Every structure is written in structure tokens, then in C-alpha cells.
Amino acid sequence: MAGHTLNYLALAARNAEPVCRFLGDSLGLLRTDVALQGRSIPFFGIGKSALAVFDVDDPYLDEPRFPGVHHMALAAADPAATAARHALPVSGAGAGPDGKRFVSIAPSATVGIRTRFIEPLAIPASAGPAYKIDHLGIATDDNDATVRVFSGNLGCPIESTQTDVEIRNVTESFISDKYGAVYHARPPQILGGLRDVFITIGDCELELLMDYDPSMKPKAQLGEEKGNTKGDQSAIAKFVARRGPGLAHVAFATRDIDAILPKLAGDGWRMIDLAGRPGGRGSKIGFVHPSNFGGGLLMHFVEPELDGGYGRTCSSKGETT
């Protein structure tokens, strides 16, 4: 099959058990326990890829280890040859889940995005309210460099670009009992913003998130509210300042966000959103609170404007070996 596709996404948690309950019990994803160096790792099939859940101190994970989205593994019949063909330096190699050969790419070569090539793992998936990974959120301070790696070098197509800006409009009024009312609009003030690029990897995208204006980072007044562009910019700025550029969150595609969010709350999960709100690419989005998983692991849901309208396969420039 031509193209680089996401084989699995590695999630790291301080306590893997609630993550597995969320994915398996609440989302209904099919669980497959896969052998890895004498232990079993839970994998959950979703769409054409899978989610693997690791304890944050699992030795399979590269240092430094943080709770959150640790790495993405792209399918390659010959991982080492694939890395060499794209002139990507290898920082580690070995036998991964189910004994599949893998190589880790030096994060400096992928703008901080922890990336592996691995022999394809076949993880079965079942139908459910979350039917695929919609995108992987990437916090970055250099969209252009990231595009050069994943689109220019690996050949994955740019699905779309987007600029998110939150603006405050202020109008002054002068109201006189003798002369009437005069209204004066001040120039709009930008409170926060992000520059987005969506790059397709298999049946999902990488969403590159970079500050609209780096001079605005950080601002003490940013991030006081959740669910807006100002808060989103603050979250991205804080992530990059604390951990450097890299994988920040995972988003799942759903066909009915206003059904799944309250259902999850009813299951006992703490939610940031109980109803879908406007998101990128004409979608509706809603977030799960990371405290459910011990902090650090951020997940959210997306109801696309056009069901299944995003995913494409990488161009022939990124053919697997």
C-alpha cells in the first residue's frame, strides 16, 4: 500500500487503568492485548489505526517520559530502510509490540514530534461512537519546518490551512439630551490567535498549532477562560515552553457530539464541554478533562462538517518500503 499511514498512537499515563476504561468501556473500542518484551500492552483499534496505552515509566517509551501523547508510529515494511530513504537519523531501534521491528527517529529531525517507523501491526477495530482518530494536535513554534518534514520529505499532503483569531471590538457612545447619540468604534484588538496546518497521515491528520503572533506569548491575561482561541493559544504557548514542540492531544471523530459528551459525563467522567461548540474546519468540538487520567493526557471529540470528509492517503513520494 502506498503512503505513510498512522499504525498506532502511544498514550502515556500515570495510571493506565482509567484510560483503558475510558477507551474500552465508555467509547466501546475493541481491546487487544499485545505482547511486548514479556508483558502485555493494551491496544484499542480505531478506524485504520490504534491507540496503545502505556504506564508513563514503561521502558519502551523514550526519555523524557511525560503523561500525554508520547509518540506516533507510522507503518513501514522495512523501518530502517524507510528512515534511510528519507535521510532521517535513527535514535533507537529494536523489537516492539508483537515482535515488530521499529526505529525511532531523532526528535530534532521531526521538529520535536516523536515519530517511529514500525512493521505494520494488525489491530482489529469495532464500530462505535468514536469511529476514527480525527487528528493529532501538534504544539509547535515553526509550522514551516514541520511542513517541510512531513509534507516535503515524507510526502504527506496538506489537507488545509487555517488562521484562528479571537478579536475584541469596542464601541464608545456619546449620548446627549440635546445633541443625540454618537457612536465611535475603536480598532479591533486581537486577544489571541493560532496558525493551523492540517497534514494527512492515513485516515487522520496532524494539526500543527502555532502562535498567530509570537510577540503575544506568553500573556498573563491569556487562558483565563476555556473553550476559546485566547485560551487555546495560551495552552499551546505553555506546552511549548514546558516540554518543547511535540504531540499535544488526540481528537476522535464522532457523528453525534451532542450525544457522546453528556453520555461520557453520565459515565462519571469529568468534562470540559457537555455540548459541541464551534471548532476548526466547520466542525463541532468538545473536550474531556485531563484530570480523569491523572493529568497531562488531553483528548477531545470532533463532529466533522462533512462526515468522513478529511482523510486522504499520502502521495507516492512517501511510499512505504
C-alpha cell at 111: 521538529
Predicted confidence at residue 192, as pLDDT, reads 64
Question: Rounded to an integer, what distance in angstroms lies between the CA atom of residue 65 and that of residue 182?
Answer: 59
pLDDT in tens, the chain (321 residues): 345 999 999 999 999 999 999 999 999 999 999 999 999 999 999 999 999 999 999 999 999 999 999 999 999 999 999 999 999 999 999 999 999 999 999 999 999 999 999 999 999 999 889 999 999 999 998 999 999 999 999 999 999 888 776 667 888 888 888 888 988 888 877 666 678 899 999 999 999 988 766 555 444 443 444 555 545 555 777 788 888 899 999 999 999 999 999 999 999 999 999 999 998 888 999 999 999 999 999 999 999 986 544 433 343 333 333
C-alpha cell at 209: 498549532
Question: Rounded to an integer, what distance in angstroms lies between the CA atom of residue 125 and that of residue 251?
Answer: 17
Predicted confidence at residue 51, as pLDDT, reads 98
How many C-beta atoms lie closer than 10 Å to residue 132's C-beta?
18
**Residue 150 and residue 199 in contact, taking contact as beta carbons nearer than 8 Å:** yes
Q: In a 3-state reduction of DSSP, which class is residue 88? A: coil
Predicted confidence at residue 310, as pLDDT, reads 42
User: Which domains are seen in the chain, by residue range?
Assistant: 6-318 (3.10.180.10)
Question: Rounded to an integer, what distance in angstroms lies between the CA atom of residue 117 and that of residue 101?
Answer: 8
Question: Rounded to an integer, what distance in angstroms lies between the CA atom of residue 122 and that of residue 5?
Answer: 13
Question: Rounded to an integer, what distance in angstroms lies between the CA atom of residue 180 and that of residue 178?
Answer: 6
Question: Rounded to an integer, what distance in angstroms lies between the CA atom of residue 275 and that of residue 77?
Answer: 42
**Residue 265 and residue 274 in contact, taking contact as beta carbons nearer than 8 Å:** yes
pTM, entire model: 0.84
Predicted confidence at residue 217, as pLDDT, reads 47
Give exposure, 194-217, as e/b (b: 16+ Cβ within 10 Å). bbbbbbbbbbbbbbbbbbbeeebb
- CA 41, 308, 148, 238 dihedral sign is negative
- CA 93, 94, 96, 99 dihedral sign is positive
Q: In a 3-state reduction of DSSP, which class is residue 315? A: coil
Predicted confidence at residue 308, as pLDDT, reads 47
C-alpha cell at 172: 464608545
